[in-house]
Amino acid sequence: MLELRRRGGCPGPGGAAPPPREGEAAGGDHETESTSDKETDIDDRYGDLDSRTDSDIPEILPSSDRTPEILKNALSGLSSRWKNWWIRGILTLTMISMFFLIIYMGSFMLMLLVLGIQVKCFHEIITIGYRVYHSYDLPWFRTLSWYFLLCVNYFFYGETVADYFATFVQREEQLQFLIRYHRFISFALYLAGFCMFVLSLVKKHYRLQFYMFAWTHVTLLITVTQSHLVIQNLFEGMIWFLVPISSVICNDITAYLFGFFFGRTPLIKLSPKKTWEGFIGGFFSTVVFGFIAAYLLSKSQYFVCPVEYRSDINSFVTECEPSELFQLQSYSLPPFLKALLRRETVTLYPFQIHSIALSTFASLIGPFGGFFASGFKRAFKIKDFANTIPGHGGIMDRFDCQYLMATFVHVYITSFIRGPNPSKVLQQLLVLQPEQQLNIYKTLKIHLIEKGILQPTLKV
């Protein structure tokens, strides 16, 4: 009645009809509205999304429990606290065992694992957006989200192929065309998705559609970009992949154990179950674990050599002369350690020193990726991103800290470790035209003669 009264369809409190609106005839039809009035009504109905509070966000129904029945029956007599502890422990050991198996299968399988995790994390985040705003029935939202995922993956993995598989690409004419115009093709694919998004805009959903457009792109930034950096780290040597990832896993496990048994002091409001005892215990445990893991892995060429593709055998190889970073060296101890350990020097792999920096970041800064994810889940009133892993939640729940760690490792390598890669330079030289290769050869020869490394050729 109030709505009808406002529009002039009902008499006022005194029984008389309200005065006509400005621009309407006094005796005109009050049920007819101007176009501007309709647009105003639409804005009133759908344009208030910016003012919505957390309490206005629709609550997502909790996911069903996917714990295997055999585990439920075996743990039925335990309290919920200890039941969750055993479920998490058993599934953790299972995942670690599978991870060791994939490591044994080689670098290519690790890359496929990273790609699979990336797609699943993207799916979980996008699904949350779809569930929250499902009632609005946004056109093309999920289709465009997956299309943009395909475009961004095509760009990043195409760059990887161009960098590390140049000799293989050189033999295939079709691939040569794709690599030569790779960035233009990638941009054209993205433009097609952009145009489809613009064409999908619906008048009453403008603002919400742009919200979800931003949602998709931020999700791509979090998942695809970081997984690309993980693979870049892997090409530097499997040790740069394993030590950071295992350090985050170790910190997650030990912080949970210390918090479970000794936790008393809450750490942060975003994660009420996190405690200072778990945070500190996880830090020291992770630093010790990273130091020992670095020592053990530095002994093997399989882990320390850069991953390279050999076109002659059509396979990835990890064979090289280990760099100084993975050769034992003696270091003088500080005075206070000399008195404590009763020795003047200690023999270490230089990478062990770097592992301390990696482990420190994994245990002190890495958890903030988890806190960020906790705030995200609280904003949308969900406990976990999904229910993929019983006792753990979704894949994103387990890898929220890994993505932050991947960026740090990549920046750390490029800032403090990486030098010129002779193999990569050689691959780039092999794809040049013969005239360009000859010019580089002559320039390099002159340079080596000037430095006294080569003797000048005597003209007869």
Q: What is the mean pLDDT of residues 262-269?
A: 90
Residue 271 belongs to domain spanning: 108-138+202-419
Q: Which residues contact 119 (CB under 8 A, 6 or more apart)?
A: 149
Amino acid code (one letter) for 9: G
* 312 shares its domain with 389: yes
Angle at 390 between CA 384 and CA 393, to 5 degrees: 15
Q: Does 35 have pLDDT greater than 60?
A: no
* 318 shares its domain with 391: yes
In a domain, 222, yes or no: yes
In a domain, 56, yes or no: no
72 or 280, greater pLDDT? 280
* 308 shares its domain with 437: no
pLDDT at 40: 47
* 225 shares its domain with 99: no
pLDDT at 303: 93
* 225 shares its domain with 354: yes
Amino acid code (one letter) for 261: F
The neighbour count for residue 153, using CB atoms within 10 Å, is: 19
pLDDT at 86: 85
In a domain, 391, yes or no: yes
Q: Does 300 have pLDDT greater than 80?
A: yes
* 440 shares its domain with 407: no
pLDDT tens profile 301-313:
999 998 887 766 7
Averaged pLDDT of the chain = 81
Q: Does 9 have pLDDT greater than 60?
A: no
* 447 shares its domain with 352: no
pLDDT at 167: 66
394 or 458, greater pLDDT? 394
In a domain, 27, yes or no: no
pLDDT tens profile 168-188:
776 777 777 888 899 999 999
* pTM of the predicted model as reported, rounded to 2 decimal places: 0.77
In a domain, 426, yes or no: yes
Q: How many structural domains are present in the chain?
A: 3
Q: What is the mean pLDDT of residues 429-441?
A: 86
In a domain, 52, yes or no: no
pLDDT at 60: 56
* 324 shares its domain with 442: no
pLDDT tens profile 113-137:
999 999 999 999 998 888 776 645 6
* 431 shares its domain with 319: no
* 211 shares its domain with 81: no
pLDDT at 43: 46
In a domain, 38, yes or no: no
pLDDT tens profile 90-113:
888 888 899 999 999 988 899 999
192 or 83, greater pLDDT? 192
* 73 shares its domain with 119: no
* 291 shares its domain with 267: yes
243 or 74, greater pLDDT? 243
In a domain, 369, yes or no: yes
Rounded to whole angstroms, the Cα distance separating 160 from 76 reads 49
